[in-house]
Structure 1
């Protein structure tokens, strides 16, 4: 909060703990970001701790970053197994609709991302199994990365929210070629975006994120990012995301916008679009995938509400 009691206005690079609020490690909402739709909160729960989420005018996905939890909403209880950390496996997740009250409880404690988007439709509360998350390898050579498309458009039904995870091995560049989605057209969506970062290797691990102005936007960021940092992208060309040698990079992308169709349509910076053509002659980094989605069987699967 500001000294006068109003919300802190966030822009560009948001260092870890600089946007903590109301018991959350990170709180980004449309009012703080100065835009219309996208939100992200990161919540740490101690063993046995519970927290209530009032969804208000937004839909939310509860995504375990480390540990597991239960999500009680609309007379349903979804048990999320979670994962030890973002570098060790795909996670299951829970969808919380707008105009709902959800209670998150973690028996062993953990850290959880709440990805949100203002929306109009109230969809049903649902469970998303880890086994249903498409794991995609994108790019090649030094631009190889892994994308966990848990709430991509066309994968999991939401009204406006789009969210994916990207893992980039140390020394590689991702979010490249630089691209944008700040104008509505037949080939481009208008989407606000949040990048949330975690890095393997401890508190000294670092990476870099670039955002530069497009014809429709003025955002200009070159940030050294560390675990828990976020970068807000209302507009502009974004990329590369640079994982320095020795430190694998994770980022969570949260997107939403005003378009009638929920779609991720991008435009590459013409100066660098040629890079995509070079991938055909290169192999994907052999370190990828870092992991794949689990294959659940009847003997392993727990009963779901």
Structure 2
């Protein structure tokens, strides 16, 4: 379990016939299949059958939203791996099913900054109280989370205050060799977060503050990451500020095509 001030993330791996139960406490949660399908239940009697997917590199997935102050269960017949993404919240919204067919897929950036974003629980696509969550897929050799940006101060209409958790999976090479990537976070304030980390499948990086990016996919290895965000601001919104030394990169995108390897798979609006 990765547990921070406003956000939480638990990656649960279950064998065939496996189950997992947990109290939601003071947080809202999304159960997101990474591989395999499952049935999600709540103490109040809600039941959601999630088809899931073979892997994060093959398809978007359906998901289940769980409110605070309940007890939830996850059960899988065939086994699988499931992300439980949570955020501290105040309002108690109803439990709901999120169909894969409704997940907007966005192609962001061009050239070597091309990436695919699955906006399953972005601020403007799925109703939550505080939680914001998206998936990003970066073809091998490309950079994403670029230009470096931050959202660690509240400036109305300009920047949100959101902490963030990155969870990574890296596609194997053609002969099955494991892949890797890199994540950079540079300080936006005195004594702020400063790291350059090699990341592999199963790794997480917690970003309480700082300019984050690039996320670098090694050639030949598609990079996946799940972003889980929440913060104390009055609105649930994702407003970012680009690093002033690198913001110019966005102006070059109209001059280049999107990487032809994208989309890796279709979504509602790809």
Shared fold per TM-score greater than 0.5:
yes
Distance 1:270 1:200 in 2: 32
Unaligned runs of 5+ in 1: 1-26, 31-35, 296-305
Contact 2:170 2:178 in 1 (8 A): no
1:50-129 aligned at under 5 Å gives the runs 50-73=19-42, 74-129=44-99
TM-score (norm 2): 0.96
The offset of 1:293, in angstroms, is 2.2
Contact 1:217 1:235 in 2 (8 A): no
The offset of 1:75, in angstroms, is 1.1
Runs of 4+ in 1 over 2 A off after TM superposition: none
Q: Deviations over 1:40-85 (max 9, x none)?
A: 0000011111111210010000000000000011211100000000
3-state SS, counterpart of residue 206 of structure 2: strand
> Which structure shows the higher strand fraction?
2
Distance 1:233 1:181 in 2: 10
1:274 is aligned to 248
Distance 1:164 1:216, change over 3 A: farther
Contact 1:203 1:227 in 2 (8 A): no
2:166 is aligned to 195
Contact 1:163 1:255 in 2 (8 A): yes
Distance 1:256 1:271 in 2: 26
TM-score (norm 1): 0.85
The offset of 1:176, in angstroms, is 0.1
2:185 is aligned to 211
Distance 2:258 2:116 in 1: 10
1:291 is aligned to 265
Distance 1:199 1:208 in 2: 11
1:137 is aligned to 107
Q: Deviations over 1:213-247 (max 9, x none)?
A: 01376100100100000111000000000001000
The offset of 1:294, in angstroms, is 6.8
